[in-house]
Chains A and B, each alone.
Chain A
């Protein structure tokens, strides 16, 4: 019986019937398939899944409350990572390493207290993956100006169908809101 190398290349044994053309064809075809698969893998590595979603309408964030941000516009999405049917999450079906970024604008408040506002990037498979907050309003200066917050992280997707979302939170005594915002994800590497 012909044997195979670890990569699947076939070769005859001394006890096999001599059929050189067929055995050459089998071997050539095995190498052909393997090398072409490597070429395809290299090409796929440079064409990664990625998505960008945005929103501009104000979303109210109640005081001292975790609020999951909603996204309204699917600007870029080459791998069905987002759907308006579930407008708060990216759903990732390819395992691997992903760069995830979110940034957005907290509206100004005519409030002279100092407060903090921030975002958290959250995974359905493991909770918070990154967070950042900004202190707004200092030295009793009213925080009437908008505040921009940015978070990014490198995250390993280990579960097919894992979802990524963004939590907004602040500690003003009254409600605040998030306006212009963007949320993006791109794969950078296969998993181990």
Chain B
């Protein structure tokens, strides 16, 4: 009876087997061929997802979580190489509406968000415009800030569309109540308080760096 290699199960004859050089070579060649073909056709991809929102979106004055602004809707999937997710919109008493991407699988993720903001056509001059990436723990617990970025200057008539970005690494256990990611924009007035602002394109990119959280 032939024996088999320990890892990939390739067959080879043992001394007690009848001599059959062509047959044994063919069986080994075909086993290797089949194995390598299978590996080549199933080279695992790194799970990665980018979601985008393009419609002009008016952020609200945030009275629930001071300073965090508004979570932004994302409705276009630019690419997805195997990340399992669902979209969630939720709010709760005392909390802001949160539009999240719920990542279903456990792992360590690189998260990157962008928000484009043009010069506003009206309104008081804002002195602080910022982006937050937030990670939530479910539908009833406020999400926490996991990354941030800001520009202190509102675009003027000489400026085009500016973009804010933030990125970070965050771990999700993949259990119930974990893996909710969202991107937020806020604009502040000189006198304090969050003002409304119309943003345009925003993105949220999530890439799994390790399947073990």
Which A residues form the contact surface with B (CB < 8 A)? 20-22, 24-25, 27-29, 31-33, 35-36, 38-39, 42-43, 45-52, 75-76, 78, 99, 101, 103-105, 134-138, 141, 144-150, 152, 180, 182, 184-188
Contact = CB atoms under 8 A, between A and B. Distances in A.
Contact of A21 (B12, B147, B210): B12
Interface string B88-132: 000000000000000000001010000000000000000110111
A105 to B, nearest CB: 7
22 contacts: A24-B25, A24-B28, A25-B3, A28-B11, A29-B5, A31-B5, A32-B7, A36-B7, A43-B44, A47-B211, A48-B209, A50-B110, A50-B210, A52-B169, A76-B108, A103-B147, A134-B150, A147-B152, A148-B130, A148-B150, A149-B149, A150-B148
A24 B212 contact: no
Contacts of B28: 24, 27-28
B6 A150 contact: no
Interface in B117-170: 127-128, 130-132, 145-153, 165-170
A144 to B, nearest CB: 8
Contacts of A137: 152
Contacts of B43: 42
A36 B152 contact: no
Nearest 10 pairs of A and B residues by beta carbon: A150-B149, A32-B5, A184-B169, A36-B7, A148-B148, A148-B150, A28-B12, A24-B12, A76-B171, A141-B190
A182 B153 CA distance: 24
Nearest to A38: B39
Contacts of A152: 165, 167
Contacts of A78: 108, 210, 212
A138 B151 CA distance: 12
Interface residues of B, number: 57
A31 B168 CA distance: 41
Interface stretch (B14-22, B53-61, B72-80, B195-203): B14-22
Contacts of B24: 20, 24
Nearest to B32: A31
A134 B190 CA distance: 16
A180 B166 CA distance: 15
A141 B211 CA distance: 47
Interface of B: 3, 5-8, 10-15, 17, 19, 21, 24-25, 28, 32, 35-36, 39, 43-44, 46, 67, 108, 110, 127-128, 130-132, 145-153, 165-171, 188, 190, 192, 208-213
Contacts of A31: 5, 8, 10, 32
Given A25-B12, A182-B147, A50 B36 contact: no
B168 A184 contact: yes
B169 A76 contact: yes
Nearest to B125: A139
B66 to A, nearest CB: 11
Contacts of B147: 101, 103, 150, 182
